[in-house]
Amino acid sequence: MPKDKIKILLVEDDSFLLGMYATKFEMENFQVITAEDGEKAVRLALKEAPDVILLDIILPKVDGFEVLRRLKANRPTAAIPVILLTNLSQKDEIERGLKMGAEDYLIKAHFMPSEVVDKIKNALNKS
């Protein structure tokens, strides 16, 4: 494991969930950056160049699909793995996210925070 911490951008508008995930990732030795809305997420992704982005879809200002589109269309952020974390579980939503370039799609209700951490680690090992 490299000594540099993995930098993760958590994008979630629910402050309770954001805090819970941030704490869990910090306990796993990640460097955590957080954004509560889509505009801030895009700004921080460009400024901070995170190793991975955990992205909610239902967000204020700009939704997660638009954030994903902007990230993939922008050369500095295009290669950053994005994992969608959402409560939207319709098949077409999942397919849309994956077609747009998301690495994976996690439904909040189906995963404990520790499982989300494991999924992130697996995604990083693939890239």
pLDDT given at position 6: 94
Q: What is the CA radius of gyration of the chain?
A: 13
Torsion of the alpha carbons at 117, 120, 125 and 127, rounded to the nearest 10: -170
Q: Quick one: pLDDT at residue 3?
A: 57
CATH number of 6-122: 3.40.50.2300
Q: Which SS3 state, helix, strand or coil, does residue 88 take?
A: coil
Cβ pair 119, 104 in contact under 8 A = yes
Report d(CA 53, CA 47) in Å as an integer.
13
pLDDT of residue 23: 96
The pLDDT value recorded for residue 1 is 44
Whose structure tokens read 């700004």? 43
- Flag residues of the chain having pLDDT under 70: 1-3, 126-127
